[in-house]
Structure 1
Amino acid sequence: MKTPPKDAYSLILEAIDTGLYKPGDRLVESELAERFGVSRTPIREALQRLETQSLLARDGRSLIVASLDHNQLAELYVVRSELEALAARLAARHATEEEVRVLTDMVEADRAHLGDPGALSRANRRFHKQIHLASHNRFLVQQLDLVHRSMALLATTSLAARGRDEVALAEHGAIVDAIRDRDEGRAGEMLRKHISQAFVTRLKLDSETAATE
């Protein structure tokens, strides 16, 4: 069975998510159409949709990839922390044995990406998505998809900080252990602490970047 081709919206969103286009980069209809091999009409419609979702912003007459200021970043992490913790609690309640096994295997496999922030960041998204799915709550999954869409506006990953990769994987292991033990409270708390530490790390990275500019 062939995988259906991605639409213009998905192609542009994926390009932002993977860092092909970073905050501040200008998006031009003709260039996008040529890159992705689609006509300009669906590209135009996709850009309008992304602008409506605040993933793109106006810079004069141009559209650029939006960025998050300090307050927006803090607001995003507050929402992410609560929703991710809820997903972990529900996963501890509803995850099948197979889903728990997949999460366990992910933690082990991701050790191969230590020292590679880009690969580990992609693996990290897959891990969190698997927890979302294991919650077995479609409405929560939809809300978390929106949150993670906004996370694409962050130019760097907190996993790039020295030593954060190993600590983050250890935190992932603790989350999976709690889910496997069906300990809803511990699963939620472990994931909330994981997000909190990621936020602290990101703030430190941002302050270091600002100090060198």
Structure 2
Amino acid sequence: MTRPNVVVLDYGSGNLRSAVRAVERAGAEVTLTSDRALAQDADGLVVPGVGAFAACMEGLRAIRGHEVIGRRLAGGRPVLGICVGMQILFERGVEHGVETEGCDEWPGVVERLQAPVVPHMGWNTVDVAAGSTLFRGIEQERFYFVHSYGVRDWTLQTNDRTRAPLVHWTTHGGDRFVAAVENGPLSATQFHPEKSGDAGAALLRNWVESL
């Protein structure tokens, strides 16, 4: 059985080495690159991300990574966003009063969490929607989060024309926000599967096996 080939997109953001190692352990051949052709043609593309939304978008646009993501999705080719790599898939981010356009694959705004203690840092459970591929067998597990911003309102309406995305939620300090999304070829997690021990390893394995 051949291992699927996965590109971890190098656009200057994210804990890239740990993402590469984790996806390799999940059963994929992994290349870390900013090369658009390789990213376009891989069986799977992982978009990591840490830090500020605006800085991530700037790095992504510099290598035209937003175009790669859009083209892959138009062709039904899998993409997995992690942490800020999930946030930039939304329409826009607001940080310190500054609005930045995202990739606009999903409507919605990334905004500061309304919790007494921010950042949200540490282990948390996820309210997993029924029928999940990503969370198969790990629905009750805890995952590692570290972020101050999130998507607190899911606004995409499909009106039954297409299969509705699976949206998974979590709460921190009484504030509810999106923890993960599965939407056809596009999947994303607000938490870091590569830092989430056995549960994160199982989630990445589920994703790699789906390729």
Structure with higher RCO (Cα < 8 A, 6+ apart): 1
Larger Rg: 1
**After TM superposition, is the score higher than 0.5?**
no
When you count strand as a share of all residues, which structure comes out higher? 2
What's the TM-score once normalised by structure 1's chain length?
A: 0.26
What's the TM-score once normalised by structure 2's chain length?
A: 0.26
When you count helix as a share of all residues, which structure comes out higher? 1
